[in-house]
Amino acid sequence: MAVKGEKSKEKIKKQSRSLTRSEITLITAFIVLGGLYLSDRYVFAPKKEEISKVQETLEIRTQHYNALLADYNKMDELKRRIEDLKNRLLNMKMQLKSYISQEDIVLNLDKLSKDCKITLSNISLSTIQSLSLNEFNAKDNKPIESEENKSEAPIPETTTKQSDISKEDMVLTKAVQLNFEGSVKNVYDFLSQLEKKMDKIHITDISLTETIKKNEKRLSGSITVAYLAYAGKDDKEKYTLEVPHSEAKPNLFYEEGWGNDNINTDTYYSNFVLNLPSDKNDIVTFGKTYSEASKIFTESNGLAIDANFKIENVNGKYKCYYSLDKINTTLTESLVLKDDKIILLVKSHKANENTTKINLNIQNSTDKKVEVKIVDDDPKNPLITVKDRKGEITVK
């Protein structure tokens, strides 16, 4: 029996053997491959997708950066093109003819009345007046009418050529009659704004009636406004003309209604007005036109320009000598005293986009007081300052 049991144990030992090396290696390989598959499926796959999106975003931003870099490298060229376009636009504006269309004048008056809060009514347009340039008198109350040149034709459109109107230099004017009503202040603002447009719009006739509504003084009346409809010869030539104005016509709201209109270029009616234009134009107004003024502005290089006034008593008449840098002139008209004073009005050129600063040097050798008024300037950053003064001079 003992021998039989030992044989049985020996048989069992022979049946249960250990794995071979190759089998262990194969099983290990299956386990590793399974782990890699599961890792790739559930761990690395989402990360790969996220990395792919990051790479795509990076490529897009890189392209955007390269485009910005290319634009930046073209900055000087773009600036040059912008400056060139600005110069071309300015040149086009300077070549535009000096006229206002019928539509423009109505829209301008309508906007102006709304801004000033007055009521306009019964707007009527008169027929056009056609005058040759040599018959146009800028100092008279009205242009000189000629039966031969008088026309009933409608106002030309902006595309109308001067050759279709006349071969000679022509000035076309047109008038608008309208009724208005508003408070004293609002009517004052309305008329003052119109007077600031005297280069193209001119008040030829006005009547006012004072009324009282709800314990408030109001003004109503009618007004006739003339405007320059066309001035020129052909597409290559442009004339700068003054709109007709009244000789020494008193201002409705100013008490300073004195002086000589020949030396006035604004509605303040003082003895003298210095009115400088934009430094982009070739005209400076000092009773006359000086083409060399543009050189003064362009050659100033940002430095202040000296304007000199010298007032003297010549044989009992008060004369004013004036110079702006290289421009020299003398007022031929005698200065008129007001309250035993000589008043000089200097109108700032700030509104004309002219940033040239001017130093006023005033010398008064007379026995009269000289009062200098600087208007339309910026008190915080004035373009016009009185640098030097000799004699009895006050500045306002």
- Residue with the larger pLDDT of the pair 332 and 202: 202
Q: Would the pLDDT of 358 be above 50?
A: yes
pLDDT of amino acid 303:
65
One-letter amino acid identity for 227? Y
Residue 94's pLDDT band, with cuts at 50, 70 and 90, is low
What is the Cα–Cα distance from 63 to 71, expressed in whole angstroms? 12
Contact at 8 Å (CB) between 128 and 160?
no
pLDDT digits (tens, 9 = 90+) for 213-272: 777 788 888 888 777 665 555 443 444 444 333 333 333 333 232 333 333 333 333 333
pTM beyond 0.85: the answer is no
Sheet holding 273-275, edge to edge: 273-275, 341-347, 369-375, 393-395
pLDDT digits (tens, 9 = 90+) for 106-147: 777 888 888 888 888 877 776 566 555 554 443 333 433 434
Domains and CATH numbers, the chain: 97-247 (3.30.70.60), 249-396 (no CATH)
pLDDT digits (tens, 9 = 90+) for 4-24: 555 555 555 555 567 777 777
pLDDT digits (tens, 9 = 90+) for 19-69: 777 777 877 877 777 777 777 677 667 777 777 788 888 888 888 888 888
